[in-house]
A and B are shown apart, each in its own frame.
Chain A
Amino acid sequence: MPFDTRRIRGPEESQSPLLFLSPDKVPEASSRQGVRGNGDVRPVFARCGLVSQAKGSAYLEAGNTKIICSVYGPREIERKDETDMKTGRLVCDFRLAPFSCMKRGAWIQGSEERDLSATLLESLQPGVCLHRYPRSQIEVNVIVLENDGSILAHAVTCASMALADGGIEMYDVVLGCALGQNGNTCLVDPSHSEECGSWHEGYGENRGCVTVALLPNLNQVSGLNADGEMREDTLTDAVRTCLDGCHKLYPVVQQALTRAVKRKAPPPEK
């Protein structure tokens, strides 16, 4: 562990109180029964244009998952050797706030966050008209304020809303949807406990998580991420279910974006 002199340091070691729960008092993972169906996505609250300093921004809430995203640019690339004369560059930074998970996270970006940044970038890139921004870069910053599952999927949606809010030209919005498979049951838009639940039970067949990013108007998949082990037919079904989930989000995204446009300016004179 490198010595971090740029932050206030606490004790060398500390443990989450959740490790010391008396065994008979462990709270039970709440089941989905009655609250929402296995195929239902959580109701999504989305709003654009909250970060005053950014070119574009969006905030998205799905259940307890809370994600904020801001977009800066197009601006000059600082490093000359990375400048591309023909097309722009998209950069993504994905972070989990230290207080966003059950266990406190570190300030230093971990490998999980780096992986998520890369996947987010790959999912967004096909949607952005990068050739319109030669020799400049567009920066997408995502922070998860609270992680209650399906963060990658919601981050994709949130980031594409922020890009559109920032007036960055795009071929299409990008929507994300996740799914957790556990044996024969599949849960769309899993919460954090549902995501973890399947792993706690140990290794099993047909168990995993799938995240799909979709360009709804082009009907193209721009990102597909699958963990775990699934049969071929299950995976095909899972992707199809995710695509349905993405389409369910579209009206919410559309509404949030048009509302932001109206708030910023009245309709122009004809």
Chain B
Amino acid sequence: MSPMKLCVPGERLCSTEDCIPGTGTDLRHGYIFATLAGYVLRKNEGEELPVISVVRETEAQLLPDVGAIVTCKVTSINPRFAKVHILYVGSTPLKDRFRGTIRREDVRATEKDKVETYKSFRPGDIVLAKVISLGDVQSNYLLTTAENELGVVVAHSEAGAQMVPISWCEMQCPRTHAKEFRKVARVQPEYLQA
């Protein structure tokens, strides 16, 4: 097998008649150009034409986008919303932290008016959430946990031990057996090892 072709930004890769532009490329005047320095990858994905993309060691720097599942850490809470730092987009860690907000009405899907943020999150919790909006100039990314799979995945009790989820709204401390309220995410098998 010949070594994989490498490219730098601006290089013309091929015509649109040969490929469909994928990530790390830009379309101009009927040609596909690279926008990243990386390996040129052609993949057949069932379409007529292969998809051409440029890949490098980490995926191209992702920014939290609408619909993306993000992992975040709660930094502060008040009765109206919880503030978080976004740590991951999907499984890609962010090098710089972005701030997000989970509003009271976005914590869960049902009985929204009864939500109490203090009974849903605590500072330091690791939360799985979904981006619903990039916010506006004045606000941060808006996130939601109103799905069964979203919510707190890691939390520490007041005694400092990592708690075990016992229901969708409670977690228990293995040391003191004290129960604390959280909006718990349904545990997915692939996260069990964490």
Contact = CB atoms under 8 A, between A and B. Distances in A.
The answer to whether A and B belong to the same complex is yes
B56 interface: yes
Given A80-B138, A217-B10, A171 B26 contact: yes
B131 to A, nearest CB: 12
B61 A74 contact: yes
A217 B109 CA distance: 51
A261 B10 contact: no
Contacts, number: 105
Interface in B1-56: 3-4, 6-12, 24, 26, 33, 35-39, 41, 43, 55-56
Nearest to A139: B96
A81 B137 CA distance: 7
B56 A167 contact: yes
A171 B10 CA distance: 5
A194 B97 CA distance: 46
Given A72-B96, A76-B98, A85-B137, A264 B9 contact: no
B135 to A, nearest CB: 8
B19 to A, nearest CB: 15
Contacts of B43: 270
Contact residues on A (Cβ < 8 Å of other chain), bracket: 35 or more
Of B9, B63, B136, which is in contact with the most chain A CB atoms at under 10 Å from its CB?
A: B9
Interface in B134-157: 134-138
B8 A74 contact: no
Nearest to A55: B95
A83 B137 contact: yes
Contact of A134 (B26, B57, B61, B134): B134
Contact of B35 (A80, A171, A260): A171
B63 to A, nearest CB: 6
Given A129-B35, A261-B37, A172 B24 contact: no
B178 interface: no
Nearest to A81: B137
Interface residues of B, number: 36
Interface in A231-253: 253
Interface string B107-150: 00000000000000000000000000011111000000000000
A172 B10 contact: yes
A93 B11 CA distance: 28
A267 B7 CA distance: 12
Contacts of A218: 10
Interface in A187-201: none
B63 A217 contact: no
B26 A258 contact: no
Given A73-B96, A74-B61, A217-B11, A169 B6 contact: no
Nearest to B24: A169
Contact of A267 (B3, B9, B36, B138): B3
Nearest to A262: B6
B9 A261 contact: no
Of A55, A166, A167, which is in contact with the most chain B CB atoms at under 10 Å from its CB?
A: A167
A265 to B, nearest CB: 4
Nearest to A267: B4
Contact of A76 (B11, B33, B99): B99
10 contacts: A72-B96, A74-B63, A76-B96, A127-B9, A134-B63, A165-B37, A218-B10, A257-B37, A265-B56, A270-B4
Interface of B: 3-4, 6-12, 24, 26, 33, 35-39, 41, 43, 55-58, 60-61, 63, 95-99, 134-138
